[in-house]
Amino acid sequence: MLAHQRARVKVPATSANLGPGFDVMGLCLSLYDELSVEVIDGPDEAKVIGEGEKDLPVDSNHLVIKSIRHTLNYVGASASGLKLTSHNRIPHARGLGSSSAAIVAGISLARELVGSDKLSKQEMIDLAGKIEGHPDNIAPCILGGATIAWSNQQDHNAVRLNVNSELVPIIAIPEYQLATKQARSVLPQQVTREESVFNISRTALLVHSLTQDLSLLFQATEDRLHQFQRSEVMPKSWHLLSELRRNEFPAVVSGAGPAILILATSEYADAVVNAVNKIDPEFKVLALTVDQGGVQATSEN
């Protein structure tokens, strides 16, 4: 039984890893897709405006509709037909969590249709993580701020960090895309103990830096596990990243790439934008803020 026939959602982009926190750390960004759904008589249909409008399915194969139906089934509800309208601004296949945003949007829309008391945020994280396969982008999308995510054989979990208000996330977005599957395919199956210890220390420092002391961001974003290893499949992005770090800007690959995230502060945000434009003007640069609240959804009768 549905409590509502219509729902709306505003779902944010996210950046995972943040350098050393591979498959663990994530950050919620002020760049959004906005979607609405209506229960109708007839087959499922989707209208996509913006990113992916020429490529995404317009029927029940749309990831948001699939996530809505998966969630409805999870809570023991159903809907005859769904009419989805999606205004997409999050770039696809750039490492900014577009698929996680779609999954979270679907879960959030379904949650509003049945009543928000039917699904807790922890259940949303677990459900979304099981659909996506890993929770590093899911967690900040739902909780906002910065997050630490982990999984076991049964479920997916996450906690939220209160990020220093002076943090200014800047993303540099190339025109080319890179599939996550391809970016993961070049990673080694084994790493050394030295590499593991290095990344553990930097990830711990990153938690401290994001919440307490932004002056340590450059050291805290060092990585030995996955970024250089992906350089061959994103050479332009790797060049930009290397040049930014040579100038001691805390730049990292955003998720699986190829977008680059620079964790700046208000003091040198303009300098970062100017540096990116000078190194490679083909990258689109956006100075954002940290979204502290995560996905926002409302229902309508």
What whole-number percentage of the chain has pLDDT above 90? 91
Q: Does residue 251 carry a pLDDT above 90?
A: yes
Please state the rounded mean pLDDT for residues 244-271: 96
State the average pLDDT over residues 144-155. 93
Phi and psi (nearest 5°) for 94? -125, -5
Angle at 93 between CA 236 and CA 146, to 5 degrees: 95
Measured between alpha carbons, how far is 141 from 132 in angstroms, rounded to an integer? 13
Model confidence at 262, pLDDT cuts 50, 70, 90, reads very high
**Count of beta carbons in the 10 Å neighbourhood of residue 208:** 11
Strand partners, 299: 7
**Selection from 289, 294, 299, 282 nearest residue 97 by Cα:** 294
pLDDT at 79 over 90: yes
Is the predicted pLDDT of residue 136 greater than 90, yes or no? yes
Give me the domains of the chain, ranges plus CATH numbers: 6-161 (3.30.230.10), 167-287 (3.30.70.890)
Alpha carbon dihedral 223, 268, 91, 251, in 10-degree steps, equals -10
Percent of the chain with pLDDT over 70: 100
What gap in Å lies between CA 79 and CA 39, rounded to an integer? 7
Task: Render pLDDT for 171-225 as a digit per residue (tens, 0 to 9).
Answer: 999 999 988 889 888 888 999 999 999 999 999 999 999 999 999 999 999 999 9
**Residues whose CB is less than 8 angstroms from the CB of residue 46 and which lie 6 or more positions away in sequence, other chains included:** 56, 57, 58, 59, 62, 64, 65, 83, 84, 85, 86
pLDDT given at position 300: 79
Q: CA-to-CA distance for 110 and 131, rounded, in angstroms?
A: 15
- Would the pLDDT of 301 be above 80? no
Q: What's the whole-model pTM score? A: 0.95
